[in-house]
Structure 1
Amino acid sequence: MEGPEATEATDSPKSKVRLVASTGDITRRQQNSPNGQPPRKKGQLHGYFESAQWTADGTTVLTNSSNNEINGYILPSDLLDPESSPHALNPQVTIPLSERTNVLCPAPYYQLSEAYTNQILISSRDLPIQLYYLYPPPSVSSQDGSATKPKHQPASSYPFMKAHSETFLSATAMLWPAPGTHFVAATKNMLAKFDVSRTGEEPLLRIKTIPSERHLSKGGGVGMRGTISTLASHPSSSSDGSSSTGLGLVAAGTWTRWVGMYDFAQAGDCVAAWGIESAAQKTAGRSPGGVGIGGNGVTQTVWSPCGRYLLVSERKSRGVLVYDVRVTGELLGWLEDRDALDSNQRISCDVFPTGDDGGGGFEVWSGTADGTVKVWENVGMREGPHVPAWDWLGHESTVGSTCLHPAGSVIATCSGAWDFAAQDKDAGSDDDVTGNAENQEEAKRRLPTWMKRSNKESSLKLWCLDSTSGDEEEE
């Protein structure tokens, strides 16, 4: 395995972060991986990290890869020790999936020391929603009584089907808040509430976001039409005890550029719904240089830690919209310079409170398409455009996820993307290529564009806030 690579953040004395662990570029590994995968040949396409998130106890980072794998990375006990950093990260668990999944929800009661809490929810095409244990007990052979290698199989399943048919619906977004007794799944024009303890049963509640799907005129102008791509629970839903299920006000976003709020404490009533296209166009007139942030479909909705503001992030966008929910549908401001205008990938951001009382706004951490991670400070304290306070170059490709540890001192970032620009640069360079080079070039030119692709850098990295850098700047 390749060792962690040095970045500008580790070499710059002005950087506020320090690299403490990394997988290295997983697309360049040629040897057998720790999870028993076969060796990778030169020129072969490999999977890359699409998303990363922390478990509830902050001990494990879960990643979703483009090659249909779920990986779990447990943090080293001496992660923050400067003498042993940067650590080399290897997955302690790998779950291969038969179908692709875009949603991964770890249990809100996850505790690494309690194996029965190490649960995740996954939804794949043409399958029910499934619950897996990250560390299943080893199966016992019936012949000699010896234990065999544990196999990951669904422990529970929750059918999500179309009414009056036997067609499975794929959940395009899921939400599993504390205390973990219920979860919400979303698909096109519908939200559904499930009880975790009722395995094999249909949803307890179905909420249609439009009155009817049979005719365009019946849903026109009412609710929001389109595939729901993201869900976010209001931070006070479970903290103040207003809902025993942890489900209160939920913000949903769609690929059709709509945002809706649904109150699950009141049987899922729609509180508000509005389109964001006009708001994104307004940013062009007030942004530096007259260039708006753009956008082509909501990829993430995020509540501020205080619950007063809602952040809306889109694909093919160079910013994040900030709404004050006390004035529904009214744009407060937007975050500038989150460069992703040419990327269809999901770029997830994270928030963290600036102070204990939340009076000083909050921070927003997000990656970009060029591998830079940027931080906006005191968000919510001003109107209009908001530029980043500082940044660092963490990767060489699109940063799909930037997520903060619950304690706020460690940041996890993952990167990866396909490269279509350099699709023919390595043509005929492989050692195992035989035959006429001209014929091979002609065959490659005839391939569809999506097949003529190559890997960009893909890695998972952990960073910690470097307290020494601030002292040096003050001196």
Structure 2
Amino acid sequence: ETNFFKKIHWSPDGTCILSSSNDESIRLFHLPSSALTAQDGFCLRPGEIVQDMFWYPRMHHQDPSTCCFITSTRDLPIQLWDASTSQLRASYTVMSPMEHILTPMAISFNPEGSRVYGCVDGAIYQFDVHRPGLTGKRCPTTPTRKDPSGQKGLLSCMSWNPDGSGVYAVGSYNGTVGFYTDETPGPVDLLNTGERTKGLTQVTFSPCGRYLYTTCRRGGTISCWDVRATGACLWQGCRQGDTNQRLGFSLSPDGSMLSSGDIQGHVLLWKDFLGDGRSESIEEGPHCFKAHQDAVSDAQIHPYHPLLATSSGQRHYEEPWSDTDEDEED
């Protein structure tokens, strides 16, 4: 079996879910109460591996002009899709200095929805959402490849601080998190998570903006960092995550709950987070229940209601021989 869900995202208004799968497809599913026109959702097949996707932050189903999302697909520009009609609205080409199309590992809108961002190896590209094409501004994360300053490595994930400061965090495969603004060249600060050999797969700010949660490939922990003051790791949640497959997590809108899955098909919920990023239930461990037979690739909390969406699946390999084959040989 080769097809499985890799990642899911609730829409900002909570009416539908966007998913990417191993069959190189992007699917949109609606909740039963959704008022969007295309009641049955749709499936996009870009034809290449989907690296990332991101909703327009001000999306609301009652305003069709806001119902859109961007995708990053291998060897293709960043593409802006209409979530009502599944039609392509615009493309933003990330071009290297050597004039090769680059595929961002992480993409995002800014909170206002006026810019599109794409993260590649050693640079962040910025686009005005109303100026598609080859109009991106290349912002290097280090002066030169040999310069020890700045942020090195393949930029793999990003998250905007919700406090309105204009700061966004970018995770790298060298285990660092860089903090950036549009006004400052290079990172304004750098956090070393100690995961240099594994690579970060997700960074997420807490709703208050003071804490940053991170996880990595083959990572059995989700870490909470105090990024406003000390830069220290305040808390770690443990899970069975020894896999190269990305295992996503999410926070509730008030920051009091964290959800994640593991490779055994369990969903884990850490509840009652304190103001300093620690959990009152840290001694008891998370609430855990069996949700799927395969690895839980994502567990996303609804932006407004007490709902949890999960996705699952993993690669299954046939044994090189079986008992039946041995019996036939005998």
TM-score (norm 1): 0.63
Hey, what's the Cα distance between the residues in 2 that align with 1:363 and 1:307?
15
Contact in 1 for aligned 2:52/2:72 (Cα 8 Å):
yes
Contact in 2 for aligned 1:71/1:91 (Cα 8 Å):
no
Pairing 1:121–2:85 present: no
Q: Which residue of 2 aligns with 1:154?
A: 88
Contact in 2 for aligned 1:159/1:201 (Cα 8 Å):
yes
Give the CA deviation at 1:109: 2.3
Looking at CA atoms only, which structure, 1 or 2, has the larger radius of gyration?
1
Hey, what's the Cα distance between the residues in 2 that align with 1:268 and 1:366?
34
Hey, what's the Cα distance between the residues in 2 that align with 1:328 and 1:229?
24
Contact in 2 for aligned 1:50/1:415 (Cα 8 Å):
yes
Contact in 2 for aligned 1:332/1:383 (Cα 8 Å):
no
Given candidates 287, 296, 318, the residue that maps to 2:220 is 318
Q: Could you list the runs of 4 or more consecutive aligned residues of structure 1 that deviate by over 4 angstroms after TM superposition?
A: 421-428
Contact in 1 for aligned 2:253/2:304 (Cα 8 Å):
no
Structure 1: runs of 5+ lacking an equivalent:
1-44, 79-89, 137-151, 243-247, 281-293, 355-360, 429-436, 439-475
Hey, what's the Cα distance between the residues in 2 that align with 1:313 and 1:63?
20
Pairing 1:270–2:172 present: no
- When residues 169 and 389 of structure 1 are mapped into structure 2, their CA distance, relative to the original with a 3 A threshold, is same
1:289-300 to structure 2, matched below 5 A, reads: 296-300=198-202
Q: Which residue of 2 aligns with 1:63?
A: 19
Contact in 1 for aligned 2:70/2:80 (Cα 8 Å):
yes
Q: Which residue of 2 aligns with 1:231?
A: 158
Contact in 2 for aligned 1:131/1:157 (Cα 8 Å):
yes
The alignment partner of 1:116 has SS state of helix
1:58-457 to structure 2, matched below 5 A, reads: 58-77=14-33, 92-136=41-85, 154-163=88-97, 165-203=98-136, 205-213=137-145, 218-220=146-148, 222-237=149-164, 248-264=166-182, 266-277=183-194, 296-336=198-238, 338-341=239-242, 343-352=243-252, 362-379=256-273, 380-382=276-278, 386=282, 388-420=285-317, 422=319, 424=321
Give the CA deviation at 1:124: 1.6
The alignment partner of 1:270 has SS state of coil
- When residues 75 and 209 of structure 1 are mapped into structure 2, their CA distance, relative to the original with a 3 A threshold, is same
Hey, what's the Cα distance between the residues in 2 that align with 1:426 and 1:188?
47
Contact in 2 for aligned 1:305/1:362 (Cα 8 Å):
no
Amino acid at match of 1:122: T
Q: Which structure has greater helix proportion? A: 1
Q: CA RMSD in A?
A: 2.6
Hey, what's the Cα distance between the residues in 1 that align with 2:321 and 2:272?
45
Q: Relative contact order (alpha carbons < 8 A, sep ≥ 6): 1 or 2 greater?
A: 1
Render the CA deviation track for 1:407-452: whole Å, top value 9, x for unaligned.
1411100001012375655988xxxxxxxx88xxxxxxxxxxxxxx
Contact in 1 for aligned 2:253/2:303 (Cα 8 Å):
no
Amino acid at match of 1:60: C
Contact in 2 for aligned 1:334/1:385 (Cα 8 Å):
no
Hey, what's the Cα distance between the residues in 1 that align with 2:3 and 2:79?
23
- When residues 378 and 384 of structure 1 are mapped into structure 2, their CA distance, relative to the original with a 3 A threshold, is closer
Q: Which residue of 2 aligns with 1:26?
A: none
Contact in 2 for aligned 1:295/1:315 (Cα 8 Å):
no
The alignment partner of 1:419 has SS state of coil
Render the CA deviation track for 1:235-288: whole Å, top value 9, x for unaligned.
112xxxx5xxxxx11111111111111122x245522113221xx6xxxxxxxx
Q: Which residue of 2 aligns with 1:85?
A: none
Structure 2: runs of 5+ lacking an equivalent:
none
Contact in 1 for aligned 2:162/2:207 (Cα 8 Å):
yes
Contact in 2 for aligned 1:219/1:225 (Cα 8 Å):
no
Give the CA deviation at 1:114: 3.4
Give the CA deviation at 1:127: 1.7
Amino acid at match of 2:307: V
Render the CA deviation track for 1:61-107: whole Å, top value 9, x for unaligned.
111011011111110139xxxxxxxxxxx952111112111111121
Q: Which residue of 2 aligns with 1:289?
A: none
Give the CA deviation at 1:184: 1.3
Amino acid at match of 1:311: Y
Give the CA deviation at 1:52: 0.7
Hey, what's the Cα distance between the residues in 2 that align with 1:105 and 1:111?
14
Hey, what's the Cα distance between the residues in 1 that align with 2:93 and 2:277?
44
Render the CA deviation track for 1:185-237: whole Å, top value 9, x for unaligned.
1000111111110012321x322112213xxxx222x1121101100000112
Amino acid at match of 1:405: H
